[in-house]
Structure 1
Amino acid sequence: MTSTETSSLILHGRRRAFLRLRDGVLLLAEDGVERRIPVAAIERIDVYGPRGR
Protein backbone atom coordinates (compact mmCIF):
# COMPACT_ATOMS: atom_id res chain seq x y z
CA MET A 1 0.00 0.00 0.00
CA THR A 2 1.28 3.48 -0.89
CA SER A 3 0.82 6.39 1.48
CA THR A 4 -0.50 9.68 0.16
CA GLU A 5 2.15 11.45 2.24
CA THR A 6 5.15 9.65 0.75
CA SER A 7 4.91 7.91 -2.58
CA SER A 8 7.42 5.51 -4.07
CA LEU A 9 6.16 6.64 -7.48
CA ILE A 10 8.79 8.49 -9.47
CA LEU A 11 7.92 10.10 -12.80
CA HIS A 12 10.88 10.45 -15.14
CA GLY A 13 11.08 13.29 -17.64
CA ARG A 14 13.49 14.54 -20.24
CA ARG A 15 17.14 15.26 -19.52
CA ARG A 16 17.21 13.22 -16.28
CA ALA A 17 14.39 15.22 -14.69
CA PHE A 18 12.12 13.45 -12.23
CA LEU A 19 9.11 14.18 -10.07
CA ARG A 20 8.28 12.56 -6.72
CA LEU A 21 5.50 13.08 -4.16
CA ARG A 22 6.65 13.45 -0.57
CA ASP A 23 4.78 14.88 2.44
CA GLY A 24 2.17 16.69 0.32
CA VAL A 25 4.86 18.36 -1.80
CA LEU A 26 5.95 17.51 -5.33
CA LEU A 27 9.73 17.40 -5.60
CA LEU A 28 10.88 18.29 -9.11
CA ALA A 29 14.58 17.65 -9.73
CA GLU A 30 16.03 18.93 -12.99
CA ASP A 31 19.56 19.95 -13.99
CA GLY A 32 20.81 19.67 -10.42
CA VAL A 33 18.08 21.99 -9.08
CA GLU A 34 15.34 20.68 -6.79
CA ARG A 35 12.04 22.55 -6.62
CA ARG A 36 9.36 21.95 -4.00
CA ILE A 37 5.78 22.51 -5.21
CA PRO A 38 2.96 22.20 -2.65
CA VAL A 39 0.18 19.98 -4.01
CA ALA A 40 -2.40 22.52 -2.79
CA ALA A 41 -0.84 25.15 -5.09
CA ILE A 42 -1.44 23.11 -8.26
CA GLU A 43 -4.50 24.31 -10.14
CA ARG A 44 -4.13 22.21 -13.30
CA ILE A 45 -1.65 20.13 -15.24
CA ASP A 46 -1.26 20.33 -19.03
CA VAL A 47 0.46 17.56 -20.95
CA TYR A 48 1.74 18.12 -24.46
CA GLY A 49 3.30 15.95 -27.14
CA PRO A 50 2.43 12.74 -28.90
CA ARG A 51 3.31 10.58 -25.88
CA GLY A 52 1.57 12.74 -23.28
CA ARG A 53 -0.61 10.90 -20.80
Structure 2
Amino acid sequence: MNLSAIYHRPESEYAYLYTANEMRVRIRTALDDVAKVVLVSGDPYDFSNGIWQK
Protein backbone atom coordinates (compact mmCIF):
# COMPACT_ATOMS: atom_id res chain seq x y z
CA MET A 1 0.00 0.00 0.00
CA ASN A 2 1.26 3.44 -0.94
CA LEU A 3 0.81 5.36 2.34
CA SER A 4 1.94 8.63 0.78
CA ALA A 5 -1.03 8.46 -1.62
CA ILE A 6 -3.63 8.49 1.20
CA TYR A 7 -5.24 11.92 1.47
CA HIS A 8 -7.94 13.32 3.77
CA ARG A 9 -8.67 16.81 5.06
CA PRO A 10 -10.98 16.73 8.11
CA GLU A 11 -12.12 20.36 7.83
CA SER A 12 -13.12 20.43 4.17
CA GLU A 13 -15.34 18.81 1.57
CA TYR A 14 -13.69 15.52 2.60
CA ALA A 15 -15.75 15.34 5.84
CA TYR A 16 -19.23 16.78 6.27
CA LEU A 17 -22.65 16.09 7.78
CA TYR A 18 -24.98 14.65 5.15
CA THR A 19 -28.05 14.42 7.40
CA ALA A 20 -28.58 14.94 11.11
CA ASN A 21 -27.50 11.33 11.76
CA GLU A 22 -25.13 10.63 8.87
CA MET A 23 -21.62 11.89 8.19
CA ARG A 24 -19.81 11.51 4.88
CA VAL A 25 -16.05 11.00 4.89
CA ARG A 26 -13.94 10.90 1.73
CA ILE A 27 -10.54 9.25 1.56
CA ARG A 28 -8.41 9.65 -1.56
CA THR A 29 -5.97 6.83 -2.37
CA ALA A 30 -3.88 5.62 -5.28
CA LEU A 31 -5.78 3.80 -8.03
CA ASP A 32 -6.62 0.19 -7.05
CA ASP A 33 -4.43 0.48 -3.94
CA VAL A 34 -7.04 0.06 -1.18
CA ALA A 35 -9.82 -2.54 -1.04
CA LYS A 36 -11.51 -1.38 2.19
CA VAL A 37 -11.44 1.53 4.63
CA VAL A 38 -12.59 1.17 8.24
CA LEU A 39 -13.52 4.32 10.15
CA VAL A 40 -13.35 4.23 13.94
CA SER A 41 -15.01 7.23 15.52
CA GLY A 42 -15.83 8.50 18.96
CA ASP A 43 -15.58 11.49 21.24
CA PRO A 44 -12.24 11.38 23.08
CA TYR A 45 -13.73 13.66 25.77
CA ASP A 46 -16.77 11.43 26.49
CA PHE A 47 -15.80 9.50 29.62
CA SER A 48 -18.46 7.48 31.44
CA ASN A 49 -17.35 5.49 34.45
CA GLY A 50 -13.75 6.43 33.72
CA ILE A 51 -13.54 4.73 30.31
CA TRP A 52 -13.73 6.05 26.78
CA GLN A 53 -17.10 5.46 25.12
CA LYS A 54 -17.22 4.29 21.49
Report the TM-score when normalising by structure 2.
Answer: 0.25
Pick the structure with more strand per residue: 1
| Bigger fraction of residues in helix | 1
TM-score in terms of structure 1 length:
0.25
